[in-house]
Amino acid sequence: MRVLVVDEQMVPRRMAAKMIKDCGVAEVLEAESADIALALLEADEKSVDLIVTDLRFDGVAGAELDGIAFVRRVAERSLASQVILASATEDCVVRSVAAMARALGLDVAGHIRKPIVPETLRPLVLRQLARRMAAPLLRARSVHVTAEELRHAIHAKQFVPYFQPRVRCEDGAVTAVEALIRWRHPERGLIPPGAFIPLADASGLLDDITDVVLEKSITWARTWRDMGIDIAVSVNLTEGSLSRPDLPARIAALADQHGIARDRVILEVTEADALTESPYAMETLARLRMNGFGLSIDDFGTGVGTLEQLMNTPFTEAKIDQSLVTGVFGQPQFLGVLEFSLRLAQELNLKTIAEGIESKADWDLLCEMGCDEMQGFYVARPMPGEEIEGWALGWHRQPL
Ligand code: C2E
Ligand code: MG
Ligand code: MG
C-alpha cells in the first residue's frame, strides 16, 4: 500500500507519516501543498492507494490550490482510490467536502480532526490495509457459469450445503457449524460458491439457493441434536436476501417445525452487506435479532464500517476475516490490523470467531489474543452433513 500525506506544516506531516508507517505501510510519501501533491501524483506511474490531506494551504507561498480543489481533481482524474480528510476546519465543511468527493466516485475512508493523533488515524489506516489484504480473495472467482445453467441446477437439485465446524478456544468444544453451499455438477465436479453466488444474486436466483441451504441446515441441526450433538448452524445471507420481507418468518417456521431453538440458528452477513443503506435489509436484520436468532458479521475487518455505523447494527458476533488471520504469526507487520479488528469487535460486545485457522501457530496466536472461537482447515474442512457425527466423535479425542 502507498500512502501520500499532504500537510503544509512539517512536524504534523512527519508525525502522520510515522503513524502510518507504524501501521505496517511500506511506502509513505509527503507533500507540503496541494499543488506539489498533484504534480507528484500526475508524474507518478505507480498509483497511490490512500491520501491523507488537510484542506487549508494558506501558508505556502505561491500555492494555488486549496484542499477542496485538490480533492476534486484527485476524484475527477482517479489519482487515488481513497482519501482521509484531516482538518481543523469546521466539521460541516469537512463533511460537505467528503460528500462532494463521494459524489465524484472517490472513496472517503474517513475524516478526522487535527491535530492528528494515533487514536483517530490508526484505525482508518488499519482498515484500509485489511481491505487490501482481502482483495485477492474476492478476485479469485474464475469458473465461468451462466444464469441458465444455474436455473437448471436449482431445478435438478444440484446444490448441497457442506458444513464446517467451529470450536471454542477454551476447551475445544464444538459450538456450531457453518453451511457452505457447493454445486455438485454432474460433469464439472464440485463448484465452490465464489463461482456462482454473485451471479445467482444478480440474476434473482439466490433466494432459491438460500431456501435449500436453510431447509437442509435446520433439518441437519435436528438430526445432529437427536444424535446428541447439540450445536448451532449458521447460514450465509446477502444484502439481497435480507430484502425479502418473508425471510424472518420463513426461518422461524423452519426452526419451529424441527424443534430447533432460535439461538441455535445464526445468520451471517458480510461486513460490506451489513452496513446496508437499504431500509428493508435493516428491517430484516432488526427482526431476526428481535426474534432471537444469532447474527454474525462475516469477513469482519475488511469493510469500511466506522465504529459508529457498526454500533447501530444488531449483531451478536463477528467472524474475523481469514485474510487477517491465516499465517499472521509470521507477518508481524499485519498483527496490528488483526489486533485492531479483534479489539473493535470486543468493544462492540460481539463474540469473536477467527476464520482461516490453518495451523497450530494460527490457533495459539488467536487464542492468546482472546478470540472466543476458531474455524478453519486446522480444525476441519467443510464436509457433507453425513460426516459431521463421525468428525465430532473423533475431535473430542484429539488433543489440541
Ligand atoms: P465465508 O462465509 O467467509 O466462508 C468461509 C470460506 O473460507 C469458505 O469458503 C471456507 O471453505 C473457507 N475456509 C474455511 N477455513 C479455511 C481455511 O482454514 N483456509 C482457507 N484458505 N479457507 C478456509 P467457500 O466455501 O468457498 O465459501 C466462500 C464464500 O461464499 C463464503 O465465505 C460465503 O460468503 C459465500 N457462501 C457460501 N455458501 C453460501 C450460501 O449458502 N449463501 C450465500 N449467500 N453465500 C455463501
Ligand atoms: Mg460465512
Ligand atoms: Mg468469511
What's the pLDDT score for residue 139?
46
- Nearest listed ligand to the Cα of residue 207: 1
Angle at 198 between CA 192 and CA 201, to 5 degrees: 120
**Distance of alpha carbon 83 from alpha carbon 3, whole angstroms:** 9
Banded pLDDT at 140 (limits 50, 70, 90)? very low
Q: Which three cell numbers stand for residue 238?
A: 446477502
C-alpha 180 – ligand 1 centre gap (Å): 6
Banded pLDDT at 117 (limits 50, 70, 90)? very high
Residue 127 confidence (pLDDT) above 70: yes
Residue 137 confidence (pLDDT) above 60: no
Q: What residues flank ion ligand 3 with Cβ within 5 A? A: 298-299, 355
What is the rounded average pLDDT of the residues 334-346?
91
* Whether pTM exceeds 0.85: no
Pocket of ligand 1 (CB under 6 A): 164, 179-181, 192-194, 197, 210, 213, 236-238, 268, 298-299, 322, 326, 355-358, 376-377, 382
**Distance of alpha carbon 94 from alpha carbon 100, whole angstroms:** 10
Query: Using CA positions, which residue lies closest to atom 20 of ligand 1?
Result: 356
151 CB neighbour count, 10 Å cutoff: 14
C-alpha 234 – ligand 2 centre gap (Å): 8
